[in-house]
């Protein structure tokens, strides 16, 4: 845990720092948010910031978002009234900690921030074998390639491998290659010098340098543009980076973990991903099973999420009733652990009884256990949408022919509503409706549609240019 403390706090800063150090954290102190942002841009990474409420916390959090620095912020202050504490939470702080600091409270905050990424539940035999493999390869320096459907816990497994490695005392840095625009990802990874491009108002240390002596996670690496893949390959081979706008190389000592929810071998065959980079990354492959393939973990995971959200919302923790457990085990979980997490968040808020009852388990869809979720490699292409951005061909069987053949049209009204509309119109509505359904999450929407995040972004840029309102991106997208 790397803790950044921001502000003066009348001497209590040293006390809070000492408590954090005793709990195993590495502490850095900055006088104000401007100094803190500068430190972060220059490679002084942190997993959590404790910021004095006298600082402009809202502006600081917005700056972090602009610079794509994903770090939770906890507000703290001396003798602060409730109104100030509430405002700090409204501005984006995760918690408020009163000062002088209480040792147990500081410890609880540190634990809460790290708990989610450290929790590995693996009682099912299908998952136990995966964890055994991770235990074997974690102490090595081998590059690891983690595969699995969206929502199966690839980042959690990455954290697990890092904690079991010889680099556990070093930083763990994660980069979501799908969530960062192509023109910014190179700077994000390798850094840039002042004036390297429009908007580069100062030097920025890239994630490779920030992860030096530690582990770098390249999440959803399949979405990386081929031109950047070539530069990444060189970095892996030479173990050095060159910042954008510089001619000088910087040596880096980083262990790489990459993830993908797509079949990279097929991407290689299609020419979308470099074969030499694929073999560099795929030294050890850890394939995470879908949640429906590890049924013995469903109830325990559900209870973990139920307890977590009960605590977050100030609600008494509840056991999951036997009937509710059966309902959970009877679902196919196309969204995997992420879908289960969201389901239990709703459930603990809606539950009206001493135990979480079946009616509180509101599951969208009716996927049966064992039914595969659609993936980028096996999902049917939605009308007019494909990974290449081409329009779909007209169906070979019309509604009338289907009725004559006895197949039956389940919703003929929906078919009639498409008559007279162009494929481009149908495609646009499908994309925007899906984006609304995912609350603006680009990655989830692309997975549902069966297209790449790059294709989705191109479409959204096109619609924006046409004057349409595009749903705002959710956090991390």
Tally the residues of the chain.
477
Contact of 192 with 245, CB cutoff 8 Å? yes
The tens-digit pLDDT sequence of the chain (477 residues) is 788 888 876 666 667 777 777 766 778 888 889 988 888 887 777 888 889 888 899 999 988 888 878 888 888 887 666 788 888 888 888 888 887 767 777 777 766 665 555 568 888 999 999 999 999 999 999 999 999 998 899 999 999 999 999 999 888 999 988 888 877 899 889 998 888 887 777 888 899 998 999 999 999 999 898 889 999 999 999 999 999 998 889 999 999 999 999 889 999 999 889 999 999 999 999 999 999 999 999 999 999 999 988 887 778 899 999 999 999 999 999 889 989 998 999 899 889 999 999 999 988 665 555 555 444 333 333 333 333 333 333 333 333 333 333 343 344 444 445 556 677 777 888 888 888 767 777 877 787 777 877 788 888 888 887 778 787 775 545
Instruction: Give pLDDT, residue 403.
Output: 39
Instruction: Give pLDDT, residue 367.
Output: 54
- Domains in the chain, CATH or no CATH each: 2-115 (3.40.50.2300), 129-287 (3.40.50.300), 292-360 (1.10.8.60), 382-477 (no CATH)
In angstroms, the CA 408 to CA 10 distance is 75
In angstroms, the CA 394 to CA 407 distance is 18
Instruction: Give pLDDT, residue 392.
Output: 37
Instruction: Give pLDDT, residue 198.
Output: 78
Instruction: Give pLDDT, residue 103.
Output: 73
Instruction: Give pLDDT, residue 71.
Output: 84
365: exposed, middle or buried (Cβ count in 10 Å: 0-12, 13-18, 19+)? exposed
In angstroms, the CA 156 to CA 153 distance is 5
Helices (H), 219-313: 226-238, 264-269, 275-281, 298-312
DSSP codes joined into one string, 318-385 = -PBPHHHHHHHHTS--TTHHHHHHHHHHHHHHH--SSSB-GGG---SS-PPTTPPPP-TTTSPPPTT-
Instruction: Give pLDDT, residue 65.
Output: 84
Instruction: Give pLDDT, residue 283.
Output: 95
Q: How many of the other CB atoms lie within 10 Å of CB of 472? A: 9
In angstroms, the CA 437 to CA 434 distance is 5
């Amino acid at each position: 845990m790397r803790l950044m403390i921001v502000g003066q706090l009348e001497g209590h800063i040293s006390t809070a720092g000492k408590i954090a150090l005793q709990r195993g954290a590495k502490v850095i102190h900055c006088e104000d948010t401007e100094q803190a942002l500068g430190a972060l841009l220059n490679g002084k990474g942190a997993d959590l910031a404790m910021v004095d409420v006298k600082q402009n916390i809202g502006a600081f959090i917005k700056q972090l978002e602009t610079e794509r620095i994903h770090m939770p912020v906890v507000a703290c202050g001396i003798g602060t009234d409730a109104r100030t504490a509430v405002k700090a939470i409204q501005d984006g702080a995760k918690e408020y900690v009163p000062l002088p600091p209480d040792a147990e409270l500081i410890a609880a905050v540190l634990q809460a921030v790290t708990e989610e990424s450290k929790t590995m539940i693996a009682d099912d035999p299908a998952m136990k074998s995966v964890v055994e493999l991770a235990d074997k390869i974690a102490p090595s320096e081998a590059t690891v390639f983690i595969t699995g459907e969206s929502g199966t816990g690839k980042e959690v497994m990455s954290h697990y491998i890092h904690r079991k490695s010889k680099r556990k005392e070093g930083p763990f840095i994660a980069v979501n290659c799908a969530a960062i625009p192509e023109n910014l990802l190179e700077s994000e990874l390798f850094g840039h010098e002042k004036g390297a491009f429009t908007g580069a108002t100062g030097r920025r240390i890239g994630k490779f340098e920030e992860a030096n002596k530690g582990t770098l996670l390249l999440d959803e690496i399949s979405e990386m543009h081929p031109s950047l893949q070539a530069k990444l390959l060189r970095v892996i081979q030479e173990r050095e980076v060159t910042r954008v706008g510089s001619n000088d190389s910087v040596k880096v000592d980083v262990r790489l973990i990459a993830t993908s929810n797509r079949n990279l071998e097929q991407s290689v065959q299609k020419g979308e991903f470099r074969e030499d980079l694929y073999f560099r990354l795929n030294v050890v492959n850890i394939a995470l099973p879908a949640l429906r393939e590890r049924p013995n973990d469903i109830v325990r995971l559900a209870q973990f999420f139920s307890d977590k959200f009960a605590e977050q919302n100030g609600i008494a923790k509840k056991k999951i009733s036997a009937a509710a457990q059966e309902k959970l085990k009877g679902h196919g979980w196309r969204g995997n652990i992420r879908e289960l997490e969201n389901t239990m968040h709703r459930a603990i808020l809606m539950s009206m009884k001493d135990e979480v009852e079946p009616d509180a388990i509101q599951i969208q869809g009716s996927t049966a256990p064992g039914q595969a979720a659609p993936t980028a490699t096996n999902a049917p292409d939605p009308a007019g949408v494909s990974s290449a951005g081409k329009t779909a061909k007209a169906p070979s069987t019309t509604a009338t022919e289907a009725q004559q053949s006895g197949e039956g049209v389940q919703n003929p009204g929906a078919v009639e509503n498409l008559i007279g509309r162009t494929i481009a119109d149908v495609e646009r509505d499908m994309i925007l409706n899906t984006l609304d359904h995912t609350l603006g999450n680009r990655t989830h929407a692309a997975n549902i549609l069966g297209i790449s995040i790059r294709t989705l972004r191109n479409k959204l840029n096109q619609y924006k240019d046409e004057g349409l309102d595009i749903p705002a991106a959710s956090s991390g997208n």
